Structure 1
Amino acid sequence: MQRPGRVREVFLAFLRLGVTSFGGPVAHLGYFRDDLVVRRKWMDDRAYADLVALCQFLPGPASSQVGFAMGLQRAGILGALAAFLAFTLPSAVLMVAFAGGAALLGGPVAAGVISGLQIVAVAIVAQAVGGMARTLAPDGPRAGIAVIGLALALLLPGAPGQLGALAVGVVGGLALLRRASEASSPAMPAFGVPRPVAVVCLVLFAVGLVGLPVLAGATGSGTVAFVDAFFRAGALVFGGGHVVLPLLQAGVVEPGWVSPEAFLAGYGAAQAVPGPLFTFSAYLGAVSLAGPGGVAGAAIALAAIFLPGFLLLTGVLPFWDAVRDRPRVRAAMRGTGAAVVGILGAALYAPVFTTAVTGPGSLLLAVVGFVLLTAFRMPAWAVVLVGAAGGVVLAFT
Structure 2
Amino acid sequence: MPSTPAAGARDDGSTHLDHSPPLDRRSIPLAARLVETVREYWDLGFTVFGGPGVHVVILRRRLVPKWVDETTFTDLFSLGNALPGPGSTQLAFSLAVVRNGTLAGFLAFLIWSIPGAVGMAGLGAGVRKFPERLPPIVLALLTGLNASAVGLIALAAYQLSKTAITDPVTRLLVLLSASFGICYHAPWMYPVLVFAGGFVTLLFDFRRQILGRLPTALNPYAIRARRKAAAAPPEPPQDPNYDVELESLGEQRRSSTAEDGAQRATEDDDKPRGAEDQAADTVRATLRQRNGPSVQPQPSATPASSVVDAPSTERSTPIMVLNRKIAFALGAGFIVYLVTIIVVRSQLNNPPRALDFFTNMVIGGTIIFGGGPVVIPLLRQYTVQPGWVESRDFLLGFAILQAFPGPNFNFAVYLGVLSLPHNPVLGAFLGWVGIFSPGIILKLALLPLYHTWRKHAVAISVLRGLNAAAVGLVYTAVWQLFLVGYIYTPVSGNIPTQASASGPLTSDPFWGVVASFAFVATQWYKSPPAVTIVGGALAGLAWFGVVGARGVERQQFFG
Which deviations, in whole Å up to 9, do the C-alpha atoms of 1:208-245 show, x marking residues without a partner? 44444443333242323312322233333334344433
Using the TM superposition, give the Cα deviation of residue 70 of structure 1 relative to its aligned residue in structure 2, in angstroms: 3.3
Shift of 1:44: 4.4
The AA in structure 2 aligned to 1:393 is A
> 2:120 is paired with a residue of what secondary structure?
helix
Gaps of 5+ in 2: 1-25, 165-169, 206-309, 519-530, 555-559
Residue in structure 2 matching 1:28, options 55, 59, 62: 55
Corresponding residue number in structure 2 for 1:286: 417
Distance in 2 separating the partners of 1:147 and 1:252: 31
Whether the aligned pair in 1 keeps the contact of 2:191 and 2:369 (CA below 8 Å) is no
The reply to whether residue 105 of structure 1 matches residue 130 of structure 2 is yes
Pairs within 5 Å for 1:378-389:
379-380=532-533, 386=540
Matched, 1:298 2:428: yes
1:305-384 equivalences under 5 Å are 305-323=435-453, 325=459, 327=461, 331=465, 358-359=490-491, 367-368=507-508, 370-371=511-512, 373-377=514-518, 379-380=532-533
Q: Sequence identity of aligned pairs in percent?
A: 26
Partner of 2:326: 197
Match of 2:549 in 1: 393
Aligned residues: 383
Equivalent position of 1:234 in the other structure: 365
Three-state SS of the structure 2 residue aligned to 1:162 is coil
* Aligned residue identity for 1:301: G
Q: Distance in 2 between matches of 1:299 and 1:263?
A: 18
Question: What is the alpha-carbon distance in structure 2 between the residues aligned to residue 197 and residue 315 of structure 1?
Answer: 8
How far apart are residue 246 of structure 1 and its match?
3.2
In structure 2, relative to structure 1, the CA distance for the partners of 1:97 and 1:336 (3 Å cut) is same
Cα–Cα, structure 1 residues 28 and 342, in superposed 2: closer, same or farther, change >3 Å?
Answer: closer
My pick for the range that moved more, 188-197 or 18-27, is 18-27
1:11 alignment partner AA? V
8 Å Cα contact 2:157/2:474 also seen in 1: no
Counterpart-to-counterpart distance in 1, 2:516 and 2:389? 34
Answer yes or no: is 1:273 the counterpart of 2:404.
yes
Shift of 1:275: 2.6
Q: Report the alpha carbon displacement of residue 191 of structure 1 after superposing the two structures with TM.
A: 1.2
307-316 or 1-10, larger mean C-alpha shift: 1-10
Q: Is the CA contact 2:52–2:371 (under 8 Å) kept in the aligned structure 1?
A: yes
Counterpart contact for 1:213–1:228, Cα < 8 Å = yes
Q: How does 1:205-216 map to 2 (within 5 A)?
A: 205-216=334-345
Equivalents in 1 of 2:477, 2:48: separation in Å? 26
Q: How does 1:133-282 map to 2 (within 5 A)?
A: 153=185, 161-163=186-188, 165-166=189-190, 169=193, 173=197, 178-179=203-204, 183=312, 185-186=314-315, 188-219=317-348, 220-221=350-351, 222-282=353-413
1:78 matched residue in structure 2: 103
> 2:50 touches 2:145 (CA, 8 Å); kept in 1?
no
Aligned to 2:167: none
User: Superposed, which structure 2 residues align to 1:48-87 within 5 Å?
Assistant: 48-87=73-112
C-alpha contact (below 8 Å) 1:120/1:268 kept by paired residues: no
Deviations 1:135-194 (A, max 9, x none): 79x9888777777777875xxxxxxx523x357547865786643757355155231411
Instruction: Give the secondary structure class of the aligned counterpart of 1:319.
Output: helix
Secondary structure of the 1:317 match is: helix
The aligned amino acid for 1:202 is: G
**Gap change, CA 1:247 and 1:122, over 3 Å in 2:** farther
Match in the other structure for 1:157: none
Is 1:10 aligned with 2:54?
no
Distance 1:66 1:28 in 2: 9
Q: Post-superposition shift, 1:14?
A: 1.4
Cα 1:218–1:24 shift into 2, 3 Å = same
Residue 84 of structure 1, CA deviation: 1.2
3-state SS, counterpart of residue 404 of structure 2 = coil
Mapped contact 2:482–2:504 kept (Cα < 8 A): no
SS in structure 1 of the partner of residue 101 of structure 2? helix
Structure 1: stretches of 5+ with no match in the other structure: 154-160
Q: CA RMSD in A?
A: 4.7
Give the conservation status (yes or no) of the 8 Å contact 1:19–1:90. yes
Code of the aligned partner of 1:82: L
Larger Rg: 2
Find the aligned partners of 1:130 and 1:42 in 2 and give their Cα distance: 24
